[in-house]
Structure 1
């Protein structure tokens, strides 16, 4: 294998698993560890990965601020799988919070196909619109400052309103999950403060997390993995993420 082929393969591997080790790569490609270190140095200089002690990790990205409409069809297969798992966690008479999230829009669609009797609190307009005619579901809408790009409300008034409720289970959106450092983030400060307020009012807190979000970051850290009861994903975690998650007492669903 030529050096260029090996380096391309290393980039693909680090993007898939999140991190790699020099020792493992040396064994895989049957070259010296010093050779692998030189490969990693070249790839870091190109901005394709970040060198760490004994290996390398993928470069976490900050995604563009897509509007709710732009995000509508992104990764929808994953969202449907996650939404089905959310439904499995619910029981009759639960009071739940559904955050501003395209995945939680899929949850609302599934609720309309179910016979569950619930109290649903939300600050997302599309979720309100989907559930407003459901006779089995009592909907409480949280108002405040409208963010048209996100199709929902947040801000000081929203925080004040949510503080008046007791929630059994909160399902929160997330922009990025840093598995290594245990941080969860979102785009906007106002959105993050709203999520923090919801978490304080809820007995159980879950994030709905597509695979790509474990490689991305938002600008505002609104919590830690240890603040959560669970992370709901579409598939299984890779080996590195499984290793990191053991440090936190949360369920992977």
Structure 2
């Protein structure tokens, strides 16, 4: 195998698995570890990966805030799939939290069509609008400071309101999930404070995770994978990445 072919294979592997080890690559390609280190140095200079102790990790993107109104009007099969999986976790008489997330809207739509007798707590205005005529659902709305995109509430008052409740399950949006460091991130500090408060008050916390979010980062780290119960994924992930997630004690759905 030529060096260029080996390097292309390394990039593909690190993008798929999130991280690679020098020792494993050396065995896989039947070359010395020094040879692999040189490959990684070349690939890092090209901006194709980032060297780390004993190996390398994938380059993560920071999307710097999507326009939620534009995304709301764009069909997204991944969000629908995640919502359908979330529904399998909700039981009669549960008290659940749906935070500000476009996937929360898909869950709310499915709840509206269901017969589940539950309580829904939310800080997202459109979730309230979807469920406010449902006789089988009790709604608790969290107010506070209107957020920057004007689709929900956050801030110190919102956090204090959340701290007054004990919840069965929470379904939380997330901007970035870093399987190497375990960091969970979002765009805004205030949104991060809100998510952290919800996690503290809830027995089971699930992240609503589109595939791209395993390769992206937000600007503010609000929790760790150790702090949540599971990930609801839109697609199956590579076996190695799944094993890494399960090492955190997570349920992968």
TM-score of the superposition, structure 1-length normalised? 0.90
What per-residue deviation string (whole Å, max 9, x for no partner) do you get for residues 31-57 of structure 1? 544333222111101111012233221
Which residues of 2 match residues 160-199 of structure 1 at below 5 A?
Answer: 160-199=160-199
CA drift at 1:111: 1.0
Aligned residue for 2:13, secondary structure, equals helix
Distance 1:192 1:173, change over 3 A: same
In the other structure, the counterpart of 1:39 is 39
Which residues of 2 match residues 212-227 of structure 1 at below 5 A?
Answer: 212-227=212-227
Aligned residue for 1:66, secondary structure, equals coil
Distance 1:107 1:40, change over 3 A: same
Runs of 4+ in structure 1 off by over 6 angstroms are none
Moved more, 49-58 or 67-76: 67-76
Report if the CA contact (8 A) 1:142-1:153 is conserved: yes
Aligned length: 253
In structure 2, C-alpha distance between the alignment counterparts of 1:110 and 1:44, rounded to whole Å = 45
Report if the CA contact (8 A) 1:19-1:240 is conserved: no
Pair 1:240-2:240 in alignment: yes
What per-residue deviation string (whole Å, max 9, x for no partner) do you get for residues 141-184 of structure 1? 11111124261110011112222222111111111112222221
In structure 2, C-alpha distance between the alignment counterparts of 1:180 and 1:132, rounded to whole Å = 41
Which residues of 2 match residues 56-75 of structure 1 at below 5 A?
Answer: 56-72=56-72
In structure 1, C-alpha distance between the alignment counterparts of 2:120 and 2:28, rounded to whole Å = 51
CA drift at 1:23: 4.1
Moved more, 116-125 or 180-189: 180-189
In the other structure, the counterpart of 1:124 is 124
In the other structure, the counterpart of 1:104 is 104
In structure 2, C-alpha distance between the alignment counterparts of 1:61 and 1:32, rounded to whole Å = 31
TM-score of the superposition, structure 2-length normalised? 0.90
In structure 2, C-alpha distance between the alignment counterparts of 1:78 and 1:247, rounded to whole Å = 25
Report if the CA contact (8 A) 2:146-2:152 is conserved: yes
Aligned residue for 1:208, secondary structure, equals strand
Structure 2 unaligned segments of length 5 or more: list them: none
Aligned residue for 1:203, secondary structure, equals strand
In structure 2, C-alpha distance between the alignment counterparts of 1:231 and 1:203, rounded to whole Å = 15
Moved more, 57-66 or 33-42: 33-42
What per-residue deviation string (whole Å, max 9, x for no partner) do you get for residues 126-152 of structure 1? 111111122211222111111242611
